[in-house]
Amino acid sequence: MADRRKGDEYIVAPEEKELYKQNGYVHLKGVLSEEEIDDLEKEFMAFIRREVQVDGRDFCDMSADYSKPIENFSIINIMLPSRYKPSLKNNIYERRAASISKQLLGHDLTFDYDQLLAKPPNKPDAIFHWHQDLAYWPVTKDTRTASFWLAIDNSTLENGCLHFVPGSHLEPDLRDHGSLHGNRDNSHTLSSTLSEKDIPKPAELSRGDVTVHHERILHGSGGNYSNSSWRRAWVIAFRSQETVKEERQRGFTHSHNDPLEVLNAVGKQS
């Protein structure tokens, strides 16, 4: 795939653009080289080892409430790594993702937030419940989003790869979502359910591949049943400049430390 990587650019094929429109997501192969992934993996593991200070609930477990001890985390969730380590800003992954987002959705998109997600080996309870990303966010006039999910490890059925419900992004209304553990004070995690007509499709990725998905597509992932393999992902979302500006004016930053009144207001809109 090196011929598709041209410096900071990654060339998206016309058929891949169409898949994003029709299915609500697209799998792009070899967005980062092995050397580039190696560098990011080192940065990722510095966060996992707590060598970078992350405040409060921005280091949490998305499979449980906030009371779960860190040593027992099943889905390690680290919000806004480039805020906590500014040298990560504008890394090669972010630059390539910016290129792809413009090809898929237009030149007015800008970086909104980043996130690290890790399922350690032998964590069958590392289930990320069905949801639509827009249910987590304030509803704005322009909701266009390119959400990138970079595989730091080979992502497989065994270790808990993503699953999408193709075409669910075309529904006029968001599905109903509820707090997985009662309310946003206990856990940030929201959960929805599938209908009998929904047919999930797994997205197994090789290290260095990405998926790019729509803000309304239903997606989730299963537990990690591997005894040896991590399932680590680096998420970056690009949204319109107007939307990012409006989010910040509302006091919404995507941090799990955002004031509860902001998070609760978001939940009511969703």
- CATH 2.60.120.620 describes domain 2-269: yes
**pLDDT tens per residue across all 270 residues of the chain:** 668 999 999 999 999 999 999 999 999 999 999 999 999 999 999 999 999 999 999 999 999 988 899 999 999 999 999 999 999 999 999 999 999 999 999 999 999 999 999 999 999 999 999 999 999 999 899 999 999 999 999 999 999 999 999 999 999 999 999 988 877 788 889 999 999 999 999 999 999 999 999 999 999 999 999 999 999 999 999 999 999 999 999 999 999 999 877 776 665 443
| Among candidate residues 255, 236, 258, 264, the one with its CA nearest the CA of residue 54 | 255
Count of positions (residues) in the chain:
270
How do the domains of the chain map onto residue ranges?
2-269
Whether the CB-CB separation of 77 and 44 falls below 8 Å is answered with: no
Give residue 225's pLDDT. Answer: 98
Instruction: Report the DSSP beta bridge partners of residue 59.
Output: 78
Strand order in the sheet with 76-79: 25-28, 210-213, 145-151, 231-240, 109-119, 76-79, 59-61
Give residue 265's pLDDT. Answer: 64
Question: Taking every pair of C-alpha atoms in the chain, what is the biggest distance, in angstroms?
Answer: 49
Strand 162-164 to strand 201-203: parallel, antiparallel, or no bridges (unpaired)?
Answer: antiparallel
pTM: 0.95
Give residue 61's pLDDT. Answer: 96
